[in-house]
Amino acid sequence: MATYEQIKVKMAELVNSYPATLRFITNENDVDNLNFDIIMENGFKEFYFTDDNLISYLSEKLQEGCEVVIQPAGSDKFLVFAANGLFKR
C-alpha cells in the first residue's frame, strides 16, 4: 500500500497534467455538471485512499482520454467515475 503522502504527490501530478479531464466533487455545483446518464451506464470503482491501484487506474483512464471524477466517500475511500462524455458541456 502507498502512503498518504505518496498518493497526495501522485494525485497532484495528475491534476496538473490533466486539468480539463480530472475533477473532484466538492459541492453540489460539481454534481450538477455531470452527465448522470453516462454515470449510470458506466458505474464507478471504489478505492481506499492508499490503494496502489488508485493512481494506476486514474492514469490509465486519463491516458485513454476519459473524463474522470473523484468523489470522496467517507474518511478513507474514493468513488471514481471514468467515461467519455462525463462532463456536461
Number of domains in the chain: 1
87: Cα within 13 Å, side-chain hemisphere? 16
pTM of the model: 0.90
- 16-50: per-residue pLDDT in tens? 999 999 999 999 999 999 999 999 999 999 999 98
35 φ, ψ (degrees, to nearest 5): -90, 100
67 falls within a domain: yes
Q: Which three cell numbers stand for residue 18?
A: 490533466
The pLDDT tens digits for 48-69 are 998 989 999 999 999 999 999 9
Is 52 part of a structural domain of the chain?
A: yes
Q: Is residue 88 part of a domain?
A: no
**Residues spanned by the domain of 70:** 4-83
pLDDT value for 79 = 96
Q: Could you tell me if residue 89 is inside a domain? A: no
